[in-house]
Amino acid sequence: MKNAEIREIPTKELQERLETEVAAYEQLLMTHAVSPVADPSKIKADRRNIARIKTELRQRELNK
């Protein structure tokens, strides 16, 4: 997900997406701890997506 795509999403939906992304990320980490995942770069990509969403939410909070 790119920054431009994130900016277009309403705040409420972005918060919901953040919750689902974090849950999926935690599940991926648990799975990876038991047996290695096929694509370990997905862990890094998910972590960065979460950071992008959190950054956008924080910017919106400060700009109110």
The sign of the CA dihedral 40, 47, 22, 33 is positive
0.95 surpassed by pTM? no
How many Cβ atoms from other residues are within 10 Å of residue 7's Cβ? 11
Q: What are the domain boundaries of the chain?
A: 3-62
CATH of the domain spanning 3-62, picked from 1.10.472, 1.10.287, 1.10.4100, 1.10.3470: 1.10.287
Which pLDDT tens digit goes with each residue over 1-54? 789 999 999 999 999 999 999 999 999 999 999 999 899 999 999 999 999 999
Copy the structure tokens of residue 29: 């980490």
Q: What is the DSSP string of 3-35?
A: HHHHHHS-HHHHHHHHHHHHHHHHHHHHHHHHS
Looking at residue 27, what is its pLDDT? 96
